[in-house]
């Protein structure tokens, strides 16, 4: 093995980020604890299957080129870093909610879903020029440091594409009837197109002002699309009725909106210790999350002028971070965004309750949604 890659095999299997752990340490609500317990249980099963899948790919690559093998080692380490595994665990929870069991077939699909999720993140990090993700180097940064920017960027493009291909292959080989596999792959194909559309719009928004409605169009293709893919995949494979698939689709979109808004607020208000990266990265890039859009609508021109002046900065000082937080809060941007997130969370709960999933699955999603709602109170 190339010594430069040796650290890739030393990774943590912690599955919840600092923000979630902080919330759990301050909450004794049974729903929160149930969500954490189930998520950890599901994550262990999914990670084991991801490990098996990517280890097989690494072994195959050993037969033809050491660099390709090393690239797959990097992808494996990147994929198995600590994280919440919400995408694949949503598929697993929904499937179990209808099928009543967890089997090797659905775990293979969940491994594919997890690898699919990482294919998106590899490209996302490249476009946003991120240096780190979940406590380690991004793919493009790792290879840029080993060689140069051109090779690092190129490997990230190709490895992200390969991850999508591996996800598809893993799902095809899961053992489900081909009709249901075809439905699942159609969902993933549509979701992949949508998330790339959202990335284009997100990038465009860095260069112009947008309103809440335009943000909603972009967000409908981001986390909302991801939850739609993952929950519907579990429903399709678990045998959900057409009525339930419609309910799941609407619930997933609302969960996605709630998560998107919460995640964007975290980027502004969470500490680097909790978030794993410096705060206000979105503002430094000129992105337009919902709470910033509302802040930019402030009649005080000083708010807009200050926020826009930070675009393109290499870093934002601690005093500037505090000023950003204060201006967004005083302009009403934070409260308007939190209100929208809560509205979507409550609608998602209502729709989940109408499905035919079993009580365990409903409890998992309700607990997860409650976490999103409660986390909004961390930042005032």
pLDDT tens for each residue of the chain, 380 residues long:
443 443 333 323 322 333 333 333 333 333 444 777 899 999 999 999 999 999 999 999 999 999 999 999 999 999 999 888 999 999 999 999 999 999 999 999 999 999 999 999 999 999 999 999 988 999 999 999 999 999 999 999 999 999 999 999 999 999 999 999 999 999 999 999 999 999 999 999 999 999 999 999 999 999 999 999 999 999 999 999 999 999 999 999 999 999 999 999 999 999 888 777 789 999 999 999 999 999 999 999 999 999 999 999 999 999 999 999 999 999 999 999 999 999 999 999 999 999 999 999 999 999 999 988 888 877 76
The whole-number pLDDT of residue 46 equals 97
The whole-number pLDDT of residue 376 equals 80
Classify 309 in phi/psi space as left (phi over 0), alpha (psi -120 to 50) or beta: alpha
The whole-number pLDDT of residue 372 equals 87
What is the rounded CA–CA span in Å between residue 15 and residue 35?
Answer: 13
3-state helix/strand/coil string of 224-282: HHHHHHHHHHHHHHHCCCHHHHHHHHHHHHHHHHHHHHHHHHHHHHCCHHHHCCCCCHH
Tell me the CA distances in angstroms from 24 to 7, 21, 225, 252, 371, one per residue in order: 30, 5, 27, 24, 9
What is the rounded CA–CA span in Å between residue 115 and residue 57?
Answer: 12
Helix and strand numbers, DSSP H then E, in the chain: 18, 2
The whole-number pLDDT of residue 126 equals 97
Are the beta carbons of 350 and 305 closer than 8 angstroms? no
For residue 277, the Cα-to-chain-centroid distance in whole angstroms is 15
The whole-number pLDDT of residue 84 equals 82
Sign of CA dihedral 9, 118, 17, 379: positive
Residue spans per domain, the chain:
28-378
SS3 131: coil
The whole-number pLDDT of residue 23 equals 33
Are the beta carbons of 166 and 72 closer than 8 angstroms? no
The whole-number pLDDT of residue 380 equals 67
Are the beta carbons of 187 and 249 closer than 8 angstroms? no
* 338: nearest Cα among 289, 296, 299: 289
Are the beta carbons of 14 and 21 closer than 8 angstroms? no
> Environment class of residue 92 by beta-carbon count within 10 Å: exposed (0-12), middle (13-18) or buried (19+)?
buried
What is the rounded CA–CA span in Å between residue 194 and residue 7?
Answer: 35
What is the DSSP code (8-state) at residue 90? H
pTM here is 0.89
Site of tokens 């302009």: 331
The whole-number pLDDT of residue 35 equals 77
The whole-number pLDDT of residue 304 equals 94
Classify 239 in phi/psi space as left (phi over 0), alpha (psi -120 to 50) or beta: left
The whole-number pLDDT of residue 5 equals 40
What is the rounded CA–CA span in Å between residue 76 and residue 326?
Answer: 40
Site of tokens 């002002």: 209
SS3 132: strand
Sign of CA dihedral 271, 217, 258, 80: negative
Q: DSSP characters for 167-183?
A: HHHHHHTT-S-HHHHHH
Are the beta carbons of 282 and 268 closer than 8 angstroms? yes
CATH classification number, 28-378, choose in 3.50.50.60, 3.10.20.740, 3.40.630.30, 1.10.600.10: 1.10.600.10
The whole-number pLDDT of residue 274 equals 78
């Amino acid at each position: 093995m190339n010594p430069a890659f040796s650290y890739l095999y030393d990774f943590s299997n912690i599955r919840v980020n600092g923000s979630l752990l902080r919330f759990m340490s301050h909450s004794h609500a049974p729903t929160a604890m149930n969500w954490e317990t189930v998520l950890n249980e599901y994550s262990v099963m999914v990670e084991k299957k991801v490990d098996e899948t990517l280890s097989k790919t690494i072994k195959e690559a050993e037969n033809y080129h050491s660099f390709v093998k090393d690239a797959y080692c990097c992808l494996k380490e990147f994929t198995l870093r600590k994280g919440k595994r919400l995408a694949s665990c949503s598929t697993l929870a929904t499937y179990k909610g209808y099928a009543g069991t967890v089997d090797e077939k659905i775990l293979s699909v969940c491994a594919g879903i997890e690898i699919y999720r990482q294919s998106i993140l590899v490209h996302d990090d490249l476009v946003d020029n991120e240096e780190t993700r979940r406590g380690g180097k991004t793919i493009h940064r790792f290879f840029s440091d080993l060689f140069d920017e051109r090779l690092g960027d190129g490997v990230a493009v190709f490895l992200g594409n390969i991850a999508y291909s591996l996800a598809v292959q893993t799902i095809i080989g899961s053992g489900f009837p081909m009709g249901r596999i075809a439905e699942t792959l159609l969902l993933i194909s549509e979701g992949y197109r949508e998330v790339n559309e959202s990335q284009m719009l997100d990038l465009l928004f860095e260069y112009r002002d947008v309103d809440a409605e335009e943000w909603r169009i972009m967000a409908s293709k981001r986390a909302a699309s991801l939850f739609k893919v993952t929950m519907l995949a579990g429903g399709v494979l678990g045998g959900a009725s057409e009525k339930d698939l419609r309910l799941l689709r609407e619930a997933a979109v609302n969960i996605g909106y709630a998560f998107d808004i919460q995640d964007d607020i975290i980027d502004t208000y969470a500490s680097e210790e909790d978030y794993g990266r410096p705060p206000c990265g979105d503002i430094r890039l000129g992105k337009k999350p919902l709470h910033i859009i509302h802040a930019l609508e402030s009649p005080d021109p000083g708010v807009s002028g200050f926020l826009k002046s930070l675009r393109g900065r290499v870093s934002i000082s601690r005093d500037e971070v505090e000023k950003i937080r204060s201006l967004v809060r005083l302009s009403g941007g934070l409260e308007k965004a939190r209100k929208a997130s809560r509205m979507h969370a409550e609608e998602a709960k209502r729709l989940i309750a109408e499905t035919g999933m079993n009580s365990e699955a409903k409890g998992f999603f309700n607990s997860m949604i409650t976490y999103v709602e409660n986390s909004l109170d961390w930042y005032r």
